Amino acid sequence: MAEMIDPFGRAITYLRVSVTDRCDFRCVYCMAENMTFLPKADILSLEELDRVCSAFVRQGVKKLRMTGGEPLVRRDIMKLFRSLSRHLESGALEELTLTTNGSQLGRFSHELADIGVKRVNVSLDTLDPDKFAAITRWGKLDQVMEGLAAAKAAGLQVKINAVALKGVNDDEVDRLVSWCGDEGYDLTFIEVMPMGDIGGEDRVEQYWPLSMLRAQLAEKWTLDEIDYQTGGPARYVRVKETGGRIGFITPMTHNFCESCNRVRLTCTGTLYMCLGQEDAADLRAPLRASESDGLLDDAIMEAIGRKPKGHDFIIDRRRKQPAVSRHMSVTGG
């Protein structure tokens, strides 16, 4: 099997795919409330997404993660999951998974488990219904909780992703740790990232370094360093009191680029070699130019040859502009 090696000797084995820029939430750190979504003609069809993902699997990708927007709001999305599951059956792909806001897990958890999805990441920043409504603008916490229960019943492993937001959920971190321990969920805290205009919200005010969050946790919990990897950027500890794992993703305070093994594909077929850089490759044109995959394979390899060493995220307190202009919902979480 082919292997994709970037200019810094890193094997690229992980592809994150945004299957839609649409979402049924409008989280304050991700989107403006009145978003303008992409026209349908710009969006890759499910068949095209299958072709691109399969090309990456041929070239050595072992882990595929579907993201959005909210991936489960895309019409007929389970057709794509079912089709891609053939790579799990063949052994070419080690993991097919998704990141979701949880709103649709009540509908899809059992089907996802049946086709070979083993675990899901669920974005959940608070356990307070009023706060949840304020953060997501459109979301209902009880619907997400029903989805989590369905995922658990289907046998899916659940990891909760919580964005650390100063003045918003900084008083809830102990409750999140306790709840995840009780439910058997892993928990990952993520620093807010400066991506896209979010309509009047100020990321400088939202930004809460995870070093401070971790110090706060250490006042109540015993955090033991562990050598645990999921192929992502999180660094994990074990909570002695609950037995649960906590991950920390720190793009701002600790650059995790040296071991980066991933690239990101948007729903329009644009490949970003780095979340925090604007350089990108158009895979839609070669995909649509030929029914064979030669042009597509060449375009992928050329893009991997341009993968940068790292990102340039910074919270700019002077200009208050996002470091990257595109929204997280476009690139995929």
Point out the annotated binding site for [4Fe-4S] cluster: 23, 27, 30, 257, 260, 274
Tokens 């810094």 belong to: 8
Q: Which residues are annotated as a binding site?
A: 16, 23, 27, 29-30, 65, 69, 99, 123, 159, 193, 257, 260, 262-264, 274
Tokens of 274: 């780095």
Q: Which residues are annotated as a binding site for GTP?
A: 16, 65, 99, 159, 262-264
Name which of 137, 282, 263, 121 is nearest 189 in CA terms: 121
CA distance 260 to 237: 20
Q: Which residues are annotated as a binding site for S-adenosyl-L-methionine?
A: 29, 69, 123, 193
Tokens 């072709």 belong to: 51
Helices (H), the chain: 46-58, 77-90, 105-114, 129-136, 141-153, 173-183, 203-206, 210-218, 284-289, 294-304, 328-331
Helices (H), 34-140: 46-58, 77-90, 105-114, 129-136
Q: Are 158 and 186 in contact (CB under 8 A)?
A: yes
Tokens of 327: 């929204």
Backbone angles phi, psi at 207, to 5 degrees: -65, 125
Give me the residues paired with residue 280 across strands: 272
- Cβ-count burial of 34 within 10 angstroms (0-12 exposed, 13-18 middle, 19+ buried)? exposed
CA distance 246 to 243: 10
- Cβ-count burial of 76 within 10 angstroms (0-12 exposed, 13-18 middle, 19+ buried)? exposed
